Structure 1
Amino acid sequence: MRASSICSHRLSIVTGHYGTGKTEFAVNLALALAAEGEAVMLADLDIVNPYFRSRERKQLLESSGVKLISSSQACSDADVPSLPAELLTILESRDIRGVLDIGGDPVGARVLARVQPKIVSEDYQLIYVLNANRPEVRAVEPAITYLRGIEATTGLSCTGIVNNTHLCNETTEREIRKGARLAADVSRETGIPVLCHVAEEKFVPALSDLPETVFPITIKMKKPWE
């Protein structure tokens, strides 16, 4: 499966509730695009989550051909709610595929509102990462409310849902399928399509019957104590 099949737009903005695994998805997506020969830049704009940040995998990303930019590359554990100057390179360079990792709630997404006029003039998709095991979004109504809050804050329209339901090391095929059902229900209520289901490679063969693409990943984002 080619990453471009779920990432047909030049800019992919990845957002979702804290703990959904959006950074894991963003990192794997950027790496997959680079492996397909794309010129890729990944922007770490997450000012909410102090533990799982794409900037923590800078060496891996850049050795794989992904240019990483963040609000503070010199101090990886600093919360600096400012936009890196290099972000304009992603927004304005039409030969670059950009993946933007946004903070996991409407407050974190607020940083993107500053460049909303530029984004809407480009070919972009706003991806809502959904994890059915997060208490705040495990039912249809709160999941949609959260999605709409991000849209209202950013001034952007969500164009795709990604099911990334997991339980870290205790993830099972059953959990992923539970998330697939939730994603389908949210899609039905909102009219926003399900782009893919995220799964570690070992689960992919067993999920081949799902109607949408299964995006295989390897875990890159470890907990600080691992």
Structure 2
Amino acid sequence: MLNDNRIRIITGHYGSGKTEFAVNYAIQLAKANKKTAIADLDIVNPYFRSREKEEFLNNLGIRVIGSSIKGLASDVPAVSGEILTPLQDNTFNAVLDVGGDPAGARALGRYYEYFTEGNYDMFFVINANRPETREVEKTIQYLKNIEIQSRAKVTGIINNTHLLKSTTVEDVMRGQKLCKEVSKNLNIPIIYISCIESVAKDLPNDLEGEIFPIKMYMREEWMS
């Protein structure tokens, strides 16, 4: 994780779990004593936004950048100019949580000048249970559409196939099979296998990609 490029872009289909991964990723960076910022560029989906955990993340030393208008009750399709700080300041490790469809990815495209080779990674999160990423061809098309709209190239795939707290090893392995096919077709490596801690410990050790156990910070305890 610490060897990934300084700017990490997290994208994928709506409901893939990309925000949960992005938050967990930023927390791991902070725990490694890295100067970290997470920017919420998701101007499409009003639910499970990283800015909802701003106070919690701030207490961990993570800078949170969201809408240009403060207030959880306000869902404004605008990104704060503050996002330029971690993009321009090389002392930051930046995590960008991008909108979950090609239209949402357009918000990222305006910053393409900062995404030079060796300076960024764009990780495409795949949940094989989502309608647009259940089949190899549809997943590839979805990924390519996001690349076009964002004007950035995907550099890694994240298998985040899940059914929330009901996720099993079999679910993850089914997603891994799909991810391997996408990886083979596009010559893009599987970087992480993301799943809840109770499942991660039972996964085989020889899988392509680093096993990345996560906690469900974005869902309250009472949620399924």
Q: Report if the CA contact (8 A) 2:167-2:199 is conserved.
A: no
Task: Give, in whole Å, the separation in 1 of the partners of 2:72 and 2:222.
Answer: 16
Question: Residue 220 of structure 1 aligns to which amino acid in structure 2?
Answer: Y
Query: For residue 214 of structure 2, what is the aligned residue in structure 1?
Result: 217
Query: For residue 4 of structure 1, what is the aligned residue in structure 2?
Result: 2
Taking a change above 3 Å as real, the CA distance of residues 103 and 225 of structure 1, as seen in their structure-2 partners, is farther
Task: Give, in whole Å, the separation in 2 of the partners of 1:34 and 1:202.
Answer: 23
Report how far residue 223 of structure 1 moved.
6.1
| Corresponding residue to 1:179 among 175, 179, 183 | 175
State the aligned residue count. 222
Question: Residue 85 of structure 1 aligns to which amino acid in structure 2?
Answer: G
Task: Give, in whole Å, the separation in 1 of the partners of 2:78 and 2:162.
Answer: 31
Task: Give, in whole Å, the separation in 2 of the partners of 1:181 and 1:62.
Answer: 37
RMSD (CA atoms): 1.7
Q: Report if the CA contact (8 A) 1:15-1:127 is conserved.
A: yes
Q: Report if the CA contact (8 A) 2:127-2:133 is conserved.
A: yes
Structure 1 portions without partners, runs of 5+: none
| Corresponding residue to 1:193 among 175, 186, 189 | 189
Task: Give, in whole Å, the separation in 1 of the partners of 2:40 and 2:210.
Answer: 26
TM-score relative to the length of structure 2: 0.94
SS of residue in 1 equivalent to 2:122:
strand
Structure 1 window deviating more from structure 2 (64-73 vs 106-115): it is: 64-73
Taking a change above 3 Å as real, the CA distance of residues 135 and 212 of structure 1, as seen in their structure-2 partners, is same
Provide Cα deviations, 1:91-124, integer angstroms capped at 9, x if missing partner: 1000100000000001111111111122337700
Query: For residue 168 of structure 1, what is the aligned residue in structure 2?
Result: 164
Task: Give, in whole Å, the separation in 2 of the partners of 1:118 and 1:174.
Answer: 39
Matched, 1:13 2:22: no
Structure 1 window deviating more from structure 2 (61-70 vs 22-31): it is: 61-70
Structure 2 portions without partners, runs of 5+: none
Task: Give, in whole Å, the separation in 2 of the partners of 1:20 and 1:159.
Answer: 18
| Corresponding residue to 2:128 among 132, 138, 145 | 132
Task: Give, in whole Å, the separation in 2 of the partners of 1:103 and 1:69.
Answer: 14
Task: Give, in whole Å, the separation in 2 of the partners of 1:33 and 1:212.
Answer: 18
Moved over 3 A (4+): 223-226
Taking a change above 3 Å as real, the CA distance of residues 103 and 29 of structure 1, as seen in their structure-2 partners, is same
Taking a change above 3 Å as real, the CA distance of residues 121 and 158 of structure 1, as seen in their structure-2 partners, is closer
